[in-house]
Amino acid sequence: MSLHRSGVISGVGETRYSKVSGKSVLALHLEASLAAISDAGLSPKDIDGVIPYAGLGTIAEDYVINFGIEDLRFSAHTPLGGASPIAAVQCALAAVSSGICRHVLIPLARNGSSGGRISSLMEEAPQFRAVGEFELPIGAFAPAQLYAPMARRHMELYGTTSQHFAEVAVTTRQHAILNGRAMMTKPMTLDDHQASRMIADPLRLFDCSLESDGGAALVVSRADCARDLRQPPITVLGIAEGHPDSPTAITQRADLVHIGLDKAAPRAFAMAGVSHDDIDVAEIYDCFTYVVIRQLEALGFCARGEGGPFVASGALRLDGALPNNTHGGLLSQAHIGGLNHIVELVRQLRGEAGAAQVKEAKVGLVTGYGDMGDGSIAIMARA
């Protein structure tokens, strides 16, 4: 038994992405959810499962009372930071394919710009307990600081450079400009990246993702319940989550550049039964430019240590070998915890991606990355 083709993404939705939403986080969750449910051609009362994002303040009961759901049959949390949305899809597929429920809602919304920043959540979340006790007091506060030593070691071991990081930032910005919903619409050059101020060496401002207000949501449906819905269903060929060694403290990890996706990616490709050449489009979690480079290696698109030259070849551009983050990613569209990456992959596979549409995109992959390097991956295709 496997989750291969065990369910579909039947609907996706987004709110507007902005610096100040003027709405509550719950309202953003509900607005994005309604958009996804409507996109699928469902009624809110059809939702019988929900996986709220752990730590952003909404609970399954919020959806029951706002949607008037009479018999919610399934709820869960998948607390893997930015790897959560894909881990939630995996959880939802298990729920629908085993017959627990039919339509699982997965929402994620934040006032990440006008409200609390991720760094301010770190002192409270249980997954940051070790870092909170031992690394905050010595001056390590933000994700940029926690990931910077991974990037520095990669640079020292393999010759990866800040110019490689710049290629990721510039390409992602170009795609954001084509997207139409992105927060960042001003062209960026390699020089602009190099001139941006240092945040946590080696990570510059333009290596860092945005802080955003907004929300996105999707609906996972049992395959036989999605045949007559509004949109062509997008099926999941392969899916996996992976937890890195020393999952609560990067500094204690024997191999400092190892990430959870190193474990998850081979499992997802094996389940999907596709090769790397079959992947037409990718949406790779991009909280920081370096994290994209390391994931490309973990995914097997290049050997370990060769992520820098791989991106420098132009592979990630719309006309490249692996068009990536065609919506502008967390770096330039909005930081919606990677749920916006799944939304974009679904749109690409439906052929709805507008100016950034990859021609004849039939098979694509999306990744998540969170907390201390948790990883997740889904490989999808039109059903």
Partner 1 sequence: MNIDSLPARPRPTPTEESQGYWQALREHRLAFQQCADCGKLRHYPRPMCDACWSMKSIWFESSGQGTVVSWTVAHHPFHLAFKSQTPYALVTVELEDGVRMHAPWRGTVESLTLDLPVRVVFEGVEDGLTLPAFVAA
Residues of the shown chain interacting with partner 1 in the complex, contacts defined by CB under 8 A: 115-117, 119-120, 123, 130, 132-142, 144-145, 148-150, 152-153, 156-157, 197-202, 248-249, 251-252, 256
Nearest Cα to Cα of residue 282 among 358, 218, 192: 358
The smaller minimum CB distance to partner 1, of residues 147 and 269, is found at 147
Distance separating alpha carbons of residues 157 and 257, to the nearest angstrom: 10
The smaller minimum CB distance to partner 1, of residues 38 and 251, is found at 251
Q: CA 42, 45, 48, 52 torsion: positive or negative?
A: positive
Q: List residues bridging with 380 in a β-sheet.
A: 236, 364
Residue 314 C-beta: closest distance to partner 1, Å = 29
Identify whether the C-beta of residue 100 lies closer than 8 Å to the C-beta of residue 49: yes
The smaller minimum CB distance to partner 1, of residues 200 and 322, is found at 200
The smaller minimum CB distance to partner 1, of residues 148 and 292, is found at 148
The smaller minimum CB distance to partner 1, of residues 60 and 142, is found at 142
Long-range CB contacts (within 8 A, 24+) of 25-29: 25/56, 25/57, 25/58, 25/109, 25/110, 25/111, 25/115, 26/57, 26/58, 26/62, 28/109, 28/110, 28/111, 28/213, 28/214, 28/215, 29/56, 29/58, 29/62, 29/107, 29/108, 29/109, 29/215, 29/217
Identify whether the C-beta of residue 319 lies closer than 8 Å to the C-beta of residue 358: no
CA atoms within a 13 Å half-sphere pointing along the CA-CB vector of 355: 11
Residue 20 C-beta: closest distance to partner 1, Å = 14
Residue 307 C-beta: closest distance to partner 1, Å = 17
Residue 360 C-beta: closest distance to partner 1, Å = 42
The smaller minimum CB distance to partner 1, of residues 34 and 142, is found at 142
Burial 325-359 (b: 16+ CB within 10 A, else e): bbbbbbbbbbbbbbbbbbbbbbbbbbeebeebbbe
Distance separating alpha carbons of residues 291 and 285, to the nearest angstrom: 8
**Looking at this protein, which amino acid is placed at residue 149?**
P
Residue 203 C-beta: closest distance to partner 1, Å = 8
Residue 205 C-beta: closest distance to partner 1, Å = 8
* Sequence-separated (6 or more) residues with CB below 8 Å from residue 73: 48, 49, 100, 101
Residue 319 C-beta: closest distance to partner 1, Å = 35
Distance separating alpha carbons of residues 251 and 169, to the nearest angstrom: 26
Residue 334 C-beta: closest distance to partner 1, Å = 19
The smaller minimum CB distance to partner 1, of residues 85 and 143, is found at 143
Q: List residues bridging with 219 in a β-sheet.
A: 11, 105
Distance separating alpha carbons of residues 131 and 331, to the nearest angstrom: 25
Residue 51 C-beta: closest distance to partner 1, Å = 25
**Looking at this protein, which amino acid is placed at residue 306?**
E
The smaller minimum CB distance to partner 1, of residues 116 and 266, is found at 116
Residue 142 C-beta: closest distance to partner 1, Å = 5
The smaller minimum CB distance to partner 1, of residues 66 and 119, is found at 119
The smaller minimum CB distance to partner 1, of residues 68 and 159, is found at 159
